[in-house]
Structure 1
Amino acid sequence: MPLAITMMAGPQIMSAILFVTTSRAVRVSVAFLLGVLVATTAGVIATRGVAALLGTAVAVDGESGGARTLSTVIQVALIIILLLLALKNYRGRAAAEPPKWLGTLTRASPATAAKTGLLVILAMPSDIVIMLTVGMNLEYHNADITAAIPFIAATVLIAALPLLGYLLFHKRAVSAMPAMRDWMNSHSWLINIIVCLVFVAIIARG
């Protein structure tokens, strides 16, 4: 679940919120969820293949001391990069703005929403690293893609929360979602910092 939350934190969940404020909220949101499902599944399959190609270089506690050293170096480097990104977001918080493309999603068609679902997963470096982590874990435990179903399902569930809120609490959601969208727009720097710190914790724990 922590990995799934991190997958959707930032522009990903902001996109899901924007889609439920459109005139065709259900159709557009479902298309977005399908895009997220396809992208996450394809990403995990691809990264497991990459992990298999890397072989012993992805081992966590195998016999190769060089593999363990490489793994440690990669983890430390990622943590340093993420901490620097968090610091950069904090220092630039006064001028921080959400991605401009988010503003176009309020007029999105189902096809655009599906494409957005694909891109917010496959084009986000943080999500690629998370899926690579899942793929490496599958390879290390010699597990097939079915072992990643809980992760994929949790990611789609997080993405579906705005739509579920819209369906369960329609009137309240209609009024609450724009306010939430505006808050996330004005606090995008804080969201980015939280994403960085959560990912640092995940890497350090691993």
Structure 2
Amino acid sequence: MSLQILPLAITMMVGPQIMSAIILVTTERAVRVSLGFLAGVAVATMLGVAVTRGVFALVGNNVELGDPSDRGAAGTVVQYVLVGVLLLAALKAYVRRETAAPPKWLGALMEAGPRKAFRTGFLVILLMPSDVAVMLTVGANLEQSDSSLVSALPFVGAVVLVAALPLLALLLFHRRAERVMPRVREWLGTHSWVVNIVAYLVFVVLLL
């Protein structure tokens, strides 16, 4: 797997994903629910990469995906199409910035237990368009380079590490993190459109 794929782990968690992680560390059972969330993120990411790798394996039986370094290869063209889709998504987020608001389900996470946190981590990865686009990119890259799913483990680990940053901050800087995290949560809630645009553009830059 190409090393340029690893930084895409950052975009996997930018948006409601990292907002979920931050909200969970501000709950009473912060460590337990956060660990449940991280488990959900890990399972969903590995499953998503496995599925997309399988899809491109099936496509590769009929269409030659080519080498990752070949900009004219079918697999690379797929990545460019995803870039175009995300640029349109970024434009849409900017146009609708005045009415943008975080999903209502984020507020319910304040009362979440470990099971709900796991379910949230699982679904927030598999149902987010930007994350699906990233996993499609990873799957295409694995198929192009003829790599196994084992090669995707560093990517999955990087995603989980980014998702774990709020929990790590809480464990390392307990009192300070308890004061700062609610402020970060509030800022993200009022600037969700900025976060989304940054996620889309980072994804595009890393691919191009």
Does the CA-based 8 Å contact 2:94-2:193 persist in structure 1?
yes
User: What's the counterpart of residue 52 of structure 2?
Assistant: 47
Q: 1:86 touches 1:192 (CA, 8 Å); kept in 2?
A: yes
1:100 maps to which residue? 104
The answer to whether the aligner puts 1:127 opposite 2:131 as a matched pair is yes
- Mind listing any 5+ residue stretches in structure 1 that lack a counterpart? none
| 1:28-80 C-alpha deviation (Å, 9 max, x unpaired) | 00000000111111111111111100106361449xxxx836853x4444333
Task: Check 1:154–1:58 CA distance in 2 against 1; reply closer, same or farther (3 A cut).
Answer: farther
Superposed counterparts of 1:181-200, under 5 Å: 181-200=185-204
User: Over the residues paired in the alignment, what is the CA RMSD in angstroms?
Assistant: 2.1
Of 183, 201, 205 in structure 1, the residue corresponding to residue 205 of structure 2 is: 201
Which residue identity is paired with 1:18?
I
What code does the residue aligned with 1:97 have? A
Give, in whole Å, the separation in 2 of the partners of 1:99 and 1:178: 17
Cα deviation, 1:106-139, whole Å, max 9, x if unaligned, reads 1101100000010011111211121121111111
Aligned match for 2:41, one of 23, 36, 42: 36
Shift of 1:141: 1.5
> Are residues 1:19 and 2:24 paired?
yes
Q: CA deviation at 1:25?
A: 0.2
Match of 1:91 among 90, 95, 101: 95
User: Residues 36 and 70 of structure 1: is their aligned pair in 2 closer, same or farther, counting only changes over 3 Å?
Assistant: closer
Q: Give the match for residue 65 of structure 2.
A: 59
Shift of 1:195: 1.1
Q: Hey, what does 1:180 align to over in structure 2?
A: 184
What percent of counterpart residues are identical?
56
Output the TM-score relative to the length of structure 2.
Answer: 0.89
- Provide closer, same or farther for how the CA distance between residues 52 and 111 of structure 1 changes in structure 2, counting only shifts above 3 A: same
